[in-house]
Every structure is written in C-alpha cells, then in structure tokens.
Amino acid sequence: MRILLANDDGIYSPGLLALAHAARRFGEVRIFAPDVEQSSMGHAITHSRPLTVKRTPLDGFQAWRVNGTPADCAALGLNVWEGADVVLSGINLGANLGNAAWHSGTLAAARQAALLGSRGIALSTPTRGSEPDFATLEPYVVRVLETVLPDGTLRLVNVNLPREPTGLCWTRLSIRHYDGRVVPGEDPMGRKHYWLTVHPIEEVEEGTDRWALRHGLVSLSPLRLDPTDVDGLEAAARQHPFSD
Ligand code: MN
C-alpha cells in the first residue's frame, strides 16, 4: 500500500512523525507537508502562484516540504506520487470535533484526497494542558489504521484520539454543539482587537465525536463529500416549484 502523509501543523510537527511511524507498518510512506503551520486554513488552495517543493530529511522518511496549504500538499503529493492509495493527515495537535470540520486544515487535506478520487483519513488529538503522549496513542492509531485502511468503502474518515484512549467507536459530528465566541481585547498601543475562540460546550449528545472523547474513546466519523440537505431539497422543490 502506498500511503501519502500530510498535515496542517507543518512538516516538523511531532504529530506527523508519530503518524509516519505508525503508518510504515502498513506500506510505503511518503510525506508532503506544509513548510510552516497552516492550522485552521480549511480547504484553501493556492492558485495565483506556483508551489515549490523541497526534499527534507525527516527521520529516514521520504519527505518534501511545500510552501502551500494542507489541501495543496494532498493534491501535489497525489499527483507527483501516482498511484498513492490513501492520504493520512495529522496527527493534528488539537482535536477537530464537530464544526471544526469546516475550518480544519487537517481534515481538508484528507478531504482533498477523497475529492481527487483517492481516500483520506484525518487524525487529531487534544493538546489542552500538555503535549500529547504519542507513545500512549500509537497502539490506538495502529488499530484505527488496521480497521480503516483495508476497507475501500470508507472514502473519508475524521478520527479524534483522546489523551488516554480506552477503546474505539464510530460517531457522527457534533455539529449542533458548536459555540464560537469573539473576545475583545486591546494591544499595547491601545488599539482594539478581537480573538475568535471556541467556547467549551456543556451538553454533549451521545454518539457524537465530542461524546466519544469525553468517554475516553477514539472517535471515527465517516464523512461524505456532498453536504446537500436532501430533506430540505425535497421540501423546497415541493413548496416552491419553479415552472420556468
Ligand atoms: Mn493544526
């Protein structure tokens, strides 16, 4: 199996290296990752300038650093390394739960792979308090890959690992439990500025990714590429038919 690795934390992230070591058991690994951190870039792509790719020594892995976005890295890697079977993205330093699916660069690299006809798996872990212990996570990363990699019907999966996993479970995104806050502040010159934050959520619905992490379980959310509201489409077409 040919396994392409990407991330949004940048090529020198310890999370990327941890994923590379876990992934090498399953096949040949090559890495295309951003040269600097690109977190929360979402699915941005670079179209107004060319991308540069530089070979980078990385603990014995074949690795290239790219001056582009996470989605660029997946697209470029899949193009340069023809026949790559899957893109693994991460392990992100920070969970990507619920609505983070819309702005996560980690998930965007995996989604770009799925959009290009390949497959994508995004992996993230919380960092609140202290750095993740990747040695603790490794057996669970391996279990995730053992489960997901051989199943070609899983085209895009968002995986989140709690700090100390006790098991795994399939989940849906906790989209309804997102609460973004804007916090005002002041810079040293007295000018007003704002921080965009995500406020912790109190109520967590069972079966969601956030619920899984609260219960010490690795969350695996299979995602689709088409976000069309099928019920809404049917209702709208029924209630507001266009005759022209
Ligand atoms: Mn990140």
Which stretches in the chain have pLDDT values below 50?
A: none
- pTM for the model: 0.93
Residue 209 pLDDT: 96
Per-residue model confidence as pLDDT tens digits over 151-209: 999 999 999 999 999 999 999 998 865 667 889 999 999 999 999 887 666 678 899 99
For residue 132, report the distance from its CA to the centre of ligand 1, in Å.
13
For residue 108, report the distance from its CA to the centre of ligand 1, in Å.
11
For residue 39, report the distance from its CA to the centre of ligand 1, in Å.
4
Q: How far is CA 85 from CA 30, 50, 121, 156, 176, in A?
A: 12, 25, 11, 13, 33
Distance CA 189, CA 192 (A): 9
For residue 41, report the distance from its CA to the centre of ligand 1, in Å.
9
Residue 198 pLDDT: 72
For residue 95, report the distance from its CA to the centre of ligand 1, in Å.
9
Residue 177 pLDDT: 57
For residue 125, report the distance from its CA to the centre of ligand 1, in Å.
10
104 CB-near residues (< 8 Å, 6+ apart): 8, 40, 42, 92, 96, 122, 124
Residue 83 pLDDT: 86
For residue 10, report the distance from its CA to the centre of ligand 1, in Å.
8
